[in-house]
Amino acid sequence: MVKGKKYQESAKLIDRTKLYETVEALDMVCKTSKAKFDETVEVHVKLGVDSRHADQQVRGAVVLPHGTGKTVRTLVFAKGDNAKAAEEAGSDYVGAEDMVAKITSENWFDFDVVIATPDMMGVIGRLGKVLGPKGLMPNPKAGTVTMDVAKAVAEAKAGKIEYRLDKQNIIHCPVGKASFGAEKLAENFDTLMNAVVKAKPAAAKGQYIKSCAVASTMGPGVKVNTAKYM
């Protein structure tokens, strides 16, 4: 695949053999973000675990101190007082069976995070095949299956992100927008990395963090020195 002229110009500024310190790496990402829109900055961390084994899964959620820069739309599955609490907390959509019907009949996905009370999981189970592949299925580990729906809505709106391993044992996560600048991005990056380190499975052997790179949506990757997290 031939990369664009802007990408090639940006790539020349980066030393591919160097491991950059966090702030320096994120400063390079901001400088090489040349698109006409405010690019998202993503972290890609390769871990020394095997995602095929249940006891080596790495998954969780963390609230970034400066958020993601994205407006998050929430859908809460709840009834009665819990539904009322979700509405008061500012959830974009609240419902139960009616929302299941809307998703299945209209192929409706105008939301970014799905939150549910435990008693609603039987209802949502019917949506597993459509929500699962999109990474939208509520999960207790991510804090999206909870009785405290108001707190879950507030956290989602404040910039809570979920991290999980893919099949290549890599975690891909947004940590903000290029317009945030290196300092704020670095604080978000630290928060994410500390959470990933904390989530290290007991069954993981050898080097846990194999490599890490940061990049903007359209920009080249910059390798990060993760020694301080080891």
- What string of pLDDT tens digits covers the 230 residues of the chain? 546 677 677 667 788 889 999 999 999 999 988 889 999 999 999 999 999 999 999 989 999 999 999 899 999 999 999 999 999 999 999 999 999 999 999 999 999 999 999 999 999 998 999 999 898 999 998 899 999 999 999 999 999 998 999 999 999 999 999 999 999 999 999 999 999 999 999 999 899 999 999 999 998 899 999 999 87
Q: Is 184 helix (H, G, I), strand (E, B) or coil?
A: helix
Among candidates 66, 89, 69, 97, which has minimal Cα distance to 183? 66
Rounded to the nearest 5 degrees, what angle is found at the Cα of 147, between the Cα atoms of 89 and 190? 70
Cross-strand pairs, 223: 213
